[in-house]
Structure 1
């Protein structure tokens, strides 16, 4: 198992690790600066496929965190990279917003409602019954079914709302076809992120706040995994799973070199 002092590149989740409700978590800005000062390649990852990296960079900046767009990797970018590798110059019918449509356009894909190679379901705040019906018919006619991420719900000011996984489940029920999901917990998202920054699994660390996505995907991708307790997971949640991260920390503040503390190494 790679020790933390052997980690040369970093992948980190965004929500629950660097920010919470648009506010930076303790140590987040300092950790990003530490990586920059040390020249360590890193990427900020998110399963959210609504926004482009430019959008997310602006949102993080408004929260007080400087993350250039080229240091952000979304499930939409990972999906586009996967489809470009599978079928260069292919076509897709997309349910989603700018994050996924922009990524697919930049990957050379054509958006069409006529006999597409793929139906791609991503995150959106405007799911349309007409679009879902069209997706079902296209899949029944032979289009391959792809989803950017499996999250069944997403947060809103009024509480949970249906997300990509819930809409994909509706389409699965109507077609009998399961989607191929590119985002976390598929380790493919981490592998595509590693490719982007030219990193290798044996010297890369992953920081996340969820056992069921960040940690399991990091383990399967062969990374040094760090679970922080500033997001979803707590000790009771951790005990539910048969696998363990390399380390459990209170938050990213514990990764600052001028603030060494005892961590639980497992």
Structure 2
């Protein structure tokens, strides 16, 4: 196997398409995580999904045979809450989202309110309501700042794609003429907050992802060594269509076990 041109001591990895697919572990994923833990390498599993708490995701991963501690999971909701706490400590927000988002904001010291909040924060949910979106539009037009956990326009389901945060954000933008600030991938902000969380340096950290347009580009912009694995969204024939390249392409995360 090709060795990275620099020493890798810390790892970031995407979850869906890299470690799991539709609730099942991708071959090699349990061994990869076990190798990281056995070698005591600092690592985080990243996901743009803001629906679930880290505790929820730990349980989901465990059911697929991947054993990770709760503190090794970093969601776009956690990154968003951290960003807001840094920007405006002890602020207030009107949140549209599930427990993953509301819990993260609460634990970051934020007050959740519908009355003149500092921010409107939009995250993933399976129950978007017209009433909540209308409330968000009015608050933003009234001066609240617009933040989104991630820009994904669709999300996967067994039945097919579902409208996601980016799609609802576009509707709110059309009604308010205000663009949101997206914290999650491909914003390298999420990677930098992850590096801070595990006290890692970009020069010695690798990012493993299955998407060129989020994982790889954000990893490049954050200064990380990037591995694209071909078990998810991006296929090998797609790589040359992008104006940037990952550091290396691997068939799957199984090919990285011996590099840990």
Q: TM-score, normalised by structure 2?
A: 0.97
Map 1:73-222; keep pairs closer than 5 Å.
73-222=74-223
Distance 1:156 1:224 in 2: 31
Tell me the alpha carbon deviations over residues 51-100 of structure 1, each in whole angstroms, 9 at most, x when there is no partner.
Answer: 00000000000111101110000000000000000000000000000000
Q: Find the counterpart in structure 2 of residue 233 from structure 1.
A: 234
SS at match of 1:77: helix
Match of 1:263 in 2: none
> What secondary structure does 2:241 align onto?
coil
State how far apart, in whole Å, the 2-side matches of 1:159 and 1:192 are: 32
Pair 4,253 (structure 1): closer, same or farther in 2 beyond 3 Å: farther
Whether contact under 8 Å (2:6, 2:204) holds in the other structure is: no
| C-alpha separation in 2, matches of 1:115 and 1:236 | 49
Unaligned runs of 5+ in 1: 261-266
Task: Give CA deviations for 1:131-179 in whole Å, capped at 9, x if unaligned.
Answer: 0000000000000000000000111121111100000000000000000
Matched, 1:53 2:54: yes
CA displacement at 1:5 relative to structure 2: 6.1
CA distance in 2, matches of 1:85, 1:209: 30
Instruction: Give the gaps of 5 or more residues in structure 2.
Output: none
Over 3 Å off, 4+ runs: none
The 1-side partners of 2:211 and 2:72 are apart by 21
CA distance in 2, matches of 1:205, 1:4: 11
In the TM superposition, what is the alpha-carbon distance from 1:3 to its structure 2 partner? 2.3
Which secondary structure state, in structure 1, belongs to the residue aligned with residue 206 of structure 2? strand
Secondary structure of 1:44's aligned partner? strand
Alignment partners' CA distance in 2, 1:207 and 1:30: 15
C-alpha displacement of 1:4: 5.9
Instruction: Measure the CA separation in 2 of the matches of 1:153 and 1:202.
Output: 32
- Give the Cα separation in 1 of the matches to 2:257 and 2:61: 20
Could you tell me which residue of structure 1 aligns to residue 45 of structure 2? 44
The alignment's C-alpha RMSD in Å is: 1.3
Counterparts of 1:27 and 1:75, CA distance in 2: 25
Equivalenced residues, count? 258
Q: Which position in structure 2 is the counterpart of 1:250?
A: 251
Corresponding residue for residue 70 of structure 2: 69
CA distance in 1, matches of 2:66, 2:103: 24
Distance 1:178 1:235 in 2: 34
Partners of 1:32 and 1:5 in 2: how far apart? 21
Shift of 1:236: 2.2
